[in-house]
Amino acid sequence: MLKYRYFLYEAMFVIAFMLIVIFLLHLPKLKGETVTMIGLASWYGGGEKLNKYTASGEVFDPEAPTCAIWDVPYGTYLKVTNLGNGYWILVRVNDRGPAKRLGRLIDLSRRAFSEIASLKEGLIKVKVEAYDPGWGGN
């Protein structure tokens, strides 16, 4: 019985180690190299039937500066710049959303979108950059 307990602990350690390695390999490179993407942005949270929870497990709040984007880890902060007027906002990734399959780069919460464009625009061209608070401003 004791032998199986040690085997279980070893297996849990190996699995935990593998998950940590996978997580670290999939983090965007923030220091020394800027990750920049250009594409279309839309907004969500305006009354359409939505899930109560985001893909990350948080309760969805349309008034929070958050976004849905694929290929970027949850919790990453992104600087989203409206290329039409130069306005920008910092948002935190907490969802995935349908943007990718609909040909958009990112879906912003209603509040985040309204800070950089009129909600009536619906779609805007944006530049998305991974944000590192250690950059020292700008």
pTM exceeds 0.85 for this model: no
Query: What pLDDT does residue 48 have?
Result: 60
Buried b (16+ CB within 10 A) or exposed e, 1-38: eeeeeeeeeeeeeeeeeeeeeeeeeeeeebeeeebebe
Instruction: Write the CA distances from 6 to 20, 21, 30, integer angstroms.
Output: 21, 23, 39
Q: What is the pLDDT of residue 137?
A: 44
Q: All domains of the chain, ordered by start, with CATH? A: 36-135 (2.40.40.10)
Calculate ∠ Cα 51-73-125, nearest 5°.
75
Q: For residue 7, is pLDDT > 80?
A: no
Which range in 4-13, 40-49, 72-81, 98-107 is most confidently predicted, on average pLDDT?
72-81
Instruction: Give the pLDDT score at 11.
Output: 77
Instruction: Tell me the Cα Rg of the chain.
Output: 19
